[in-house]
Amino acid sequence: MPMIMVGPGTGVAPFVGFLEHIENSTDLSVACERYLFFGCRNEDLDYIYRSKLEAFLTRKVLSHLVVSFSQQDGRSETRSRYVQDSVRKHAEGLAKLLLSNARTKIYVCGDIQRMSKDVCEAFTDILVSAGGKTREEAEIYLNDLKASKRYVQDLWI
């Protein structure tokens, strides 16, 4: 199943379980788009599950692993600081995946106060910029995804 997972910090933990299940129960020779957007403060201190996530990418359980570091000194200019910025940078691929495959699901896990709202706003932006929708159409589309359990959030305060 095509998936877009967004989980900064410990919000990535459920996705490790998802990916382990996929690896053990899916024919990985059949290509499937699976994005994981992970964010943490510092690559050397906070990049939890690094070797496991990179192995998922190598073994084709994930098609895209996008990592953001919010407080990284000497950060690469090509890397985003926050997951929502990384989502926006992948607008073309994400909009195409969302709009062309009715099975694609979005999972967001993490902080309810800012991150979840910022990520939803990023998905709205990509549907407008790369999906050809008006802002109102994009918001309705995302609300429909939520109502049909194709945009699922596990959030905490």
CA distances from 82 to 7, 27, 58 (A): 11, 32, 24
Structure tokens at 28: 């990985």
pLDDT score recorded for residue 66: 97
Is the domain spanning 3-156 CATH 3.40.50.80? The answer is yes
d(CA 88, CA 94): 9
Report, as an integer, the average pLDDT of 125-144: 98
pLDDT, tens only, 43-58: 888 999 999 999 999 9
d(CA 146, CA 143): 5
pLDDT, tens only, 72-116: 765 555 578 899 999 999 999 999 999 999 999 999 999 998 899
Structure tokens at 130: 């790369």
pLDDT score recorded for residue 80: 82
